[in-house]
């Protein structure tokens, strides 16, 4: 069996046995007339609480439909949106799932997540409201949506395939596991299935990616952060740090939280460079972002690595039209503690922090032996949980919640079938995901040098360069197994 199959080809073959008739059958004139040309918005009457008497209370959940390519009998592609607002750009043909929807005659749906975007069940983000923000409620949302929409749109007999990337990839995988009667298959791209309180591996992986790309660059970065980590320990350097990094404020009385917040934000710049891999800098310099960054870190005319990194950070502020670099924990906490909602300015940080503190962790710390960076301890995130949501969110309660998540869903011990796990070596989240085949019907597709963002775009050159398939594989409907054939 060829382990280098691209997930696009694998999904195509997975669906082939589900929809051979719709793949080769041409739509009639009446069917074409009944097919909408443009994607359109919809609002679904969703339950507030699926597990108590509150299930009789409802709210409006947003979704988008694109049935441009749909042919009767074809599959339904349900793309889950995670911790962000629904965006119709995901229905563009540059995305792989839409490309294959066109080939397979699929009906495409984008579903927004409760408490994100315009899908607001209660109209605020108080602790009382956020009790309805949990993965169990979200999975029940997805199942209820699938049942009701299937009936309303006469798609009950079609094969539904659920997609998602990153956190939404987790939901896609769990949807197939928890509701196998509703979803024929799932694609969980870059899905960190293992919840983890202290995710120290994240920035270790960032360093490894940088090292593989440019050893001298990685060395300079670590030297710069080592210098910074020492400076933030000494108040006499606070003014210099403010000047060199154009900080909005000098570190305050609670300097330990200020400095941890500052170091976290600086490390987040590395996240932008490595994981996101897309910046306006790249367009301005006409080169790969990591190359641009490493060119600055190699420029000795700017001074030591500390000054080179400061130069990069100041350039980034200018490109993003930001007057200064945020470093005040008190201001950040005020924003994270604000329960109000403004539909004109949607936010997501408070919601995701709540989910992190109650289910997932994923706290990207520097707490581990021989870590390449320092200055962002686990206690910073745990204190943030209690500061933002109350003292009951203690170290013990957060740790207990993450253990509960792994026990309930199984972590990396996946018990299901017909699920594809695409991951990329340049995506630090793959550390918590499935990167090796579990069984023949639970294949992993590990793409060297790729990220979750790029793996979902068919225009990415890496996909085409490594799309030479030696073995044809089909997942059969009757047995659910991968069978190689000539």
In a domain, 17, yes or no: yes
Please give the span between the terminal C-alpha atoms of the chain, in angstroms, as a whole number: 11
In a domain, 298, yes or no: yes
Helices first, then strands: H and E counts in the chain = 20, 12
Residues 179 and 201 in one domain: no
Residues 464 and 453 in one domain: yes
| Strand runs labelled E in 206-282 | none
Residues 352 and 460 in one domain: no
Determine the Cα–Cα distance for residues 359 and 170; give it in Å rounded to an integer. 13
Report which of 366, 369, 372, 375 is spatially closest to residue 223, judged by C-alpha positions. Answer: 372
Domain with 395 in it? 197-403
Place of tokens 């000795």: 300
In a domain, 116, yes or no: yes
Q: Which residues neighbour 257 within 8 Å (Cβ) at sequence distance 6 or greater? A: 329, 380, 383
Query: What does the angle CA 49 – CA 53 – CA 57 come to, to the nearest 5 degrees?
Result: 55
Determine the Cα–Cα distance for residues 481 and 476; give it in Å rounded to an integer. 6
Which domain-ending residue is among 368, 403, 438? Answer: 403
Place of tokens 């073995």: 471
Report which of 329, 378, 332 is spatially closest to residue 356, judged by C-alpha positions. Answer: 378
- Residue 235: how many CB atoms within 10 A of its CB? 11
The predicted structure's pLDDT at residue 244: 97
The predicted structure's pLDDT at residue 39: 67
Alpha-carbon radius of gyration of the chain? 24
- Residue 40: how many CB atoms within 10 A of its CB? 12
Query: What does the angle CA 9 – CA 11 – CA 12 come to, to the nearest 5 degrees?
Result: 65
Residues 146 and 231 in one domain: no
Secondary structure class of 180 (helix, strand, coil): coil
The predicted structure's pLDDT at residue 23: 33
In a domain, 415, yes or no: yes
The predicted structure's pLDDT at residue 36: 39
Domain containing residue 162: CATH number: 3.40.50.1820
Residues 101 and 33 in one domain: yes
In a domain, 2, yes or no: no
Secondary structure class of 9 (helix, strand, coil): helix
- 114 and 146 Cβ atoms separated by less than 8 Å: no
In a domain, 360, yes or no: yes
Report which of 354, 352, 341, 414 is spatially closest to residue 390, judged by C-alpha positions. Answer: 354
- Token duo for residue 388: 């933002």
In a domain, 1, yes or no: no
Residues 317 and 216 in one domain: yes
Query: What does the angle CA 61 – CA 64 – CA 70 come to, to the nearest 5 degrees?
Result: 135
Q: In Å, what is the CA distance from 256 to each residue of 175, 229, 388?
A: 41, 12, 17
Determine the Cα–Cα distance for residues 77 and 89; give it in Å rounded to an integer. 16
Torsion of CA 113, 118, 123, 127, to 10 degrees: 30
Residues 182 and 227 in one domain: no
Residues 40 and 177 in one domain: yes
Which domain-ending residue is among 362, 382, 403? Answer: 403
Place of tokens 């200064």: 324
Residues 23 and 40 in one domain: yes
**What's the pTM?**
0.86
Per-residue DSSP letter, 484: E
Determine the Cα–Cα distance for residues 56 and 427; give it in Å rounded to an integer. 41
Place of tokens 């069996």: 1
Note down pLDDT in tens along the chain; length 486 residues: 344 334 445 555 444 433 333 333 443 434 333 443 456 789 999 999 999 876 679 999 999 999 999 999 999 999 999 999 999 888 877 788 888 899 999 999 999 999 999 999 999 999 999 999 999 999 999 999 999 999 999 999 999 999 999 999 999 999 999 999 999 999 999 999 999 999 999 999 999 989 988 999 999 999 999 999 999 999 999 999 999 999 999 997 778 999 999 999 999 998 888 766 544 555 555 555 788 899 999 999 999 999 999 999 999 999 889 999 999 999 999 999 999 998 888 889 999 999 999 999 999 999 999 999 999 999 999 999 999 999 999 999 999 999 999 999 999 999 999 999 999 888 899 999 999 999 999 999 998 876 654 445 444 433 333 332 222 233 333 333 332 322
In a domain, 293, yes or no: yes
Residues in the chain: 486
- Residue 386: how many CB atoms within 10 A of its CB? 16
Which domain-ending residue is among 384, 403, 422? Answer: 403
How many domains is the chain built from? 2
Residues 351 and 477 in one domain: no
Residues 398 and 444 in one domain: no
Determine the Cα–Cα distance for residues 471 and 440; give it in Å rounded to an integer. 14
Residues 422 and 356 in one domain: no
């Amino acid at each position: 069996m060829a382990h280098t199959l691209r997930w696009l080809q694998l999904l195509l073959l997975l669906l082939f046995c589900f929809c051979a008739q719709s793949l080769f059958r041409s739509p009639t004139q009446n069917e074409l007339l009944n097919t909408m040309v443009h994607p359109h918005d919809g609002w679904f009457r969703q339950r507030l609480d699926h597990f108590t008497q509150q299930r009789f209370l409802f709210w409006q959940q947003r979704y988008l439909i694109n049935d441009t390519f749909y042919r009767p009998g074809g599959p339904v592609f349900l793309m889950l949106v995670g911790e962000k607002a629904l965006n119709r750009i995901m229905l563009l043909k540059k995305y792989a799932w839409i490309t294959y929807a066109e080939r397979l005659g699929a009906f495409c749906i984008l579903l927004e997540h409760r408490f994100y975007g315009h899908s607001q069940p209660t109209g605020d983000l108080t602790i009382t409201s956020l009790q309805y923000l949990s993965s169990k409620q979200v999975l029940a949302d997805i199942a209820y949506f699938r049942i009701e929409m299937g009936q309303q749109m006469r798609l009950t007999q079609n094969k539904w395939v659920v997609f998602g990337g990153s956190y939404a990839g987790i939901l896609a995988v769990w949807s197939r596991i928890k509701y196998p009667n509703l979803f024929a298959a799932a694609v969980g791209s870059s899905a960190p299935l293992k919840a983890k309180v202290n995710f120290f591996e994240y920035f270790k992986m960032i360093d490894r990616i940088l090292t593989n790309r440019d050893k001298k660059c990685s060395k300079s970065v670590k030297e710069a952060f080592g210098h910074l980590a020492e400076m933030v320990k000494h108040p006499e350097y606070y003014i210099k740090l403010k000047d060199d990094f154009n900080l909005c404020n000098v570190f305050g009385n609670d300097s330990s939280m200020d400095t941890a917040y500052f170091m976290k934000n600086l490390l987040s710049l590395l996240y932008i460079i490595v994981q996101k891999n897309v910046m306006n800098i790249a367009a301005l310099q006409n080169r790969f972002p990591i190359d641009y960054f490493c060119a600055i870190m190699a420029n000795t005319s700017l001074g030591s690595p500390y000054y080179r990194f400061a130069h990069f950070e100041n350039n980034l502020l200018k490109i993003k039209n930001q007057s200064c670099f945020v470093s005040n924990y008190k201001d950040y906490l005020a924003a994270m503690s604000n329960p109000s909602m403004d539909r004109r300015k949607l936010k997501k940080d408070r919601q995701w922090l709540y989910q992190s503190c109650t289910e997932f962790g994923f706290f990207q710390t520097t707490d581990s032996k021989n870590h390449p960076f320092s200055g962002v301890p686990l206690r910073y995130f745990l204190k943030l949980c209690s500061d933002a949501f109350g003292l009951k969110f203690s170290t013990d309660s957060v740790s207990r919640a993450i253990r509960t998540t792994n026990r309930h869903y199984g972590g990396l011990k996946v018990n299901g079938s017909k699920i594809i796990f695409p991951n990329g070596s340049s995506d630090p989240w793959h550390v918590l995901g499935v990167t090796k085949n579990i069984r023949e019907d639970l294949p992993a597709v590990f793409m060297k040098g790729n990220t979750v963002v790029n793996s979902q775009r068919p225009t990415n050159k890496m996909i085409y360069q490594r799309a030479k398939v030696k073995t044809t594989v089909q997942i059969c409907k009757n047995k659910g197994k991968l069978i190689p054939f000539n």
